[in-house]
Amino acid sequence: MTNIVTVSHLSFEYPDEHVVFNDLSLNVKQGEWLAIIGQNGSGKSTLAKLMDGLLEPAGGQIMVSGLPVDEEHLGAVRNQIGMVFQNPDNQFVGATVEEDVAFGLENRQVSREQMGPIIEDSLKAVNMLDFRERIPANLSGGQKQRVAIAGIIAVRPQILILDEATSMLDPRGRKEIISLIQTLKQQEDLTVISITHDINEAAVADRIMLLNNGQLVLEDTPDKVLNNPELLKNDGLDVPFASQLAEQLRKAGVSLPDQYLNDEEVIKWLVK
């Protein structure tokens, strides 16, 4: 598989001289879902901002779709990346859902006639077409994130970066957004990079990277990373109750499957 993002020997510090990265290298493969986990302050959001050119590295290089992330290529790089942030309220510019989705298209000089069907398709894809005339501020958290995602897929990026995009949602909203992204990833041939605290969100990824203090501690499949509660605890991550229970059951000789089981799956096994 080709790499769609390459981070080579990246170093970065904030103006207050707080060093976040010192020689970080990693790759994101085209078409994969990569989850980046790690405790608060490990550098996850900073990395996302560096990939999108919102921050400038002090050393090293980031390449996105074969383009260096630098001043000269910033526009082209940003066209490749769609970012969804934690707080859905900070992402709206339009007075209505429809106008909001139109905004990114207007920025790309898409004509009014071309815009209509794109907006419709994008809202359909996130199951929000019926809300097209609604005021974004009045929607639920999950609906707001759906609209934000519609605005992003309308401009057809190659890469979707979710920066704690589900962390302000209730468990149901969270689940809905995760399954929406799974569907979109297949339909739109997207590469997904999700930065998350939520182990259940990380569990659906193809690969997980664990960052600690700006360093890549581990990269592996969800089964390997999430079935290691000791490792997660050492990194200050919340190990889901069900996952701890599964670990204890395995220790007690109950034959649970080896892969990571989410809450529902553990309950199903217990009931059996």
Check residue 54 and report its DSSP letter: S
From candidates 37, 43, 153, 201, binder to ligand ADP by CB under 6 A:
43
Kindly state whether residue 45 participates in binding ligand ADP, applying the rule CB under 6 A: yes
Contact region with ligand ADP (CB under 6 A), list: 41-49, 66-74, 224-232, 246-254: 41-49
The one-letter amino acid at 265: E
* Run of H or E residues at 250: helix 241-251
Rounded distance between C-alpha atoms, residue 193 and residue 2, angstroms: 15
Q: Which residue in the set 7, 28, 33, 38 belongs to the binding site for ligand ADP (CB under 6 A)?
A: 38
Q: Is 238 in the site for ligand ADP (CB under 6 A)?
A: no
Contacting range for ligand ADP; rule: CB under 6 A; set: 14-22, 92-100, 167-175, 234-242: 14-22
Q: How far is CA 105 from the centre of its chain?
A: 22
> Could you tell me which stretch among 42-50, 109-117, 129-137, 178-186 binds ligand ADP (CB under 6 A)?
42-50
The C-alpha atoms of residue 171 and residue 166 are separated, in whole angstroms, by 9
Nearest in space to 53 (alpha carbons), one of 41, 71, 65: 71
CB-wise, 212 or 259, nearer to ligand ADP?
212
Minimum CB separation of residue 41 from ligand ADP in Å reads 4
Cβ contact 146:66 at 8 Å = no
Q: Which of 1, 40, 133, 271 binds ligand ADP (CB under 6 A)?
A: 40
User: Minimum Å distance from CB 1 to ligand ADP?
Assistant: 26
Residue 44 makes contact with ligand ADP by CB under 6 A: yes
Q: Which is nearer to ligand ADP, 42 or 228 (CB)?
A: 42
Cβ of 166: how many Cβ atoms within 10 Å? 26
Confirm or reject binding of residue 194 to ligand ADP (CB under 6 A).
Answer: no
Residue 46 as a binder of ligand ADP (CB under 6 A): the answer is: yes
Beta strand pairing status for 215-220 and 207-212? Answer: antiparallel
Q: Taking Cα atoms as reference points, which of 93, 85, 79, 52 lies closest to residue 156?
A: 79
* Distance (Å, whole) CA 79 – CA 169: 27
User: What is the size of the binding site for ligand ADP (CB under 6 A)?
Assistant: 12
By the criterion CB under 6 A, which residues form the site for ligand ADP?
14, 16, 18, 20, 38, 40-46
